[in-house]
Amino acid sequence: MTKKKLLLILCGLSLPLQSMFAARLEVCPSCSYQTIHSALENASDGDQIIIKSGLYREGNIQVTKSVHLLGEGWPVLDGEGQTEILTITARHVLIEGLEIRNVGNSYIEDRAGIRLRNTRFCTIRNNRLVNTFFGIYLEHSADCVISGNEVLGEALEENSSGNAIHCWYCQRLTIRDNQVYRHRDGIYFEFVDNSQIFGNTSKDNLRYGLHFMFSNDDYYYENRFIQNGAGVAVMFSKCIDMDHNIFASNWGRASYGLLLKELTDTDIRNNSFRENTIGIYVEGCSRIDYHHNEFKQNGWALKMSGGCLDNHLQENNFIGNSFDLSTLASAGTENTFDNNYWSEYSGYDLDHNGEGDIPYLPMKLFNQIVQQTPEALILLRSLFIDLLNFSEKVSPVFTPENIRDLHPKMNPYTLNIRS
């Protein structure tokens, strides 16, 4: 058994022991402790501090002992727009049931509602953070769980707003079942490895619902990304697995469901992309498998720009998108499209094996024209364009023939997708 595992087990064993001897310190206007500060001063490792409902204006609170801070009846910790509120530097801290609000914007420091710095084994669960600039900020921390929190921001502009859950240089985090609204980024990962994100809802964020930078080996699933600037952005990362997520209504002039940039070795499956301006935008990515995803009623289902190698699209449903694909002619030789269902496909299936007998070319002539002359989009859905596409389909001259699906399905797949 490795040292690490042994350590983990010992830690696990020590937790119940601690709570057996733990003292309960109650904080309320009529209790023995009137302030959280005084309770923390008198607490020792493993104690429980129960904060009763009420309004606490105590400025910044440093948590340097391994205590549990438990709120009863939603006590409010108000920063009055001046300071960061909870700063946690001890291990094994649990924060639960608090309402934290009004941290106040700052252009100089990244203030947060709850900050975890150089710590491990902390749990932040079922809290409510309102207008906290940065909601929950983790730096140089590991093995922490952030779950069931509701982080409501009031972001108006990108440059004067923070992220709801911000993680920087972290390891093995679990971020689950949180609701993050109206921040710059819903969840932000920079240099965060081996972490899991699931069951979260990220909505109305100005920039991205979820943002990965330089993070590897992470896994996110069963999340919803709705009405963000872009649903999820994954940049300069490796091995970020994505499944069963919903990317919906990320609709606007520069909006994406999923934005991939310099990402490698990834599996994207069972996701649903609905009504986004661009379903997936791919730039400089290699060795990515997209399978069993649903692309429904997007402007562009998939936009692939230069430098993409070994992207394989298989067994996806493309239904009712204005454009199925936009890419460069060279993309066809290095990436594959096979066995997908395309609602635009109008071929036939004489041998009734469920596959169309003629290949489907997702790059239509008009897609190509729009790529070169974006203004031409003004002719979308005009009779002339339909005629143009039709004649090009009958005898392809301009469209790249190597971008094609040789086995287009006649009927859509029944996919295991969350609704």
Partner 1 sequence: MLKIFRFYFFDLIRSRWTVLYALFYLLLTSALLLLSPNLSKVIISLMNIVLFLVPLIASMLGIMYFYSSRDFIELLLAQPLRRSTIFFGQYLSIVGSLGLSLLLGIGIPFLLYGILSSAEIWNYLVLLGTGLMLTFIFSGIAFWIALKHENRIKGFGLMILCWLFFAVIYDGLFLLGLSWFNDYPLEKFALGASLFNPIDLSRILILLKLDIAALMGFTGAVFSKFLGSGLGMLISMASLLLWVGFPIWRIRAISLKKDF
Chain contacts with partner 1 (rule: CB under 8 A): 251-255, 277, 297, 299-300, 320, 322, 369, 372-385, 387
Tally the C-alpha atoms within 13 A of residue 357's C-alpha that lie toward its C-beta. Answer: 6
Smallest gap from residue 300 Cβ to partner 1 (A) = 8
Smallest gap from residue 244 Cβ to partner 1 (A) = 24
Smallest gap from residue 40 Cβ to partner 1 (A) = 50
Residues in a beta bridge with 175: 146, 197
Q: Which of 94, 98, 97, 161 is nearest to 134 (CA)?
A: 161
Amino acid at 88: I
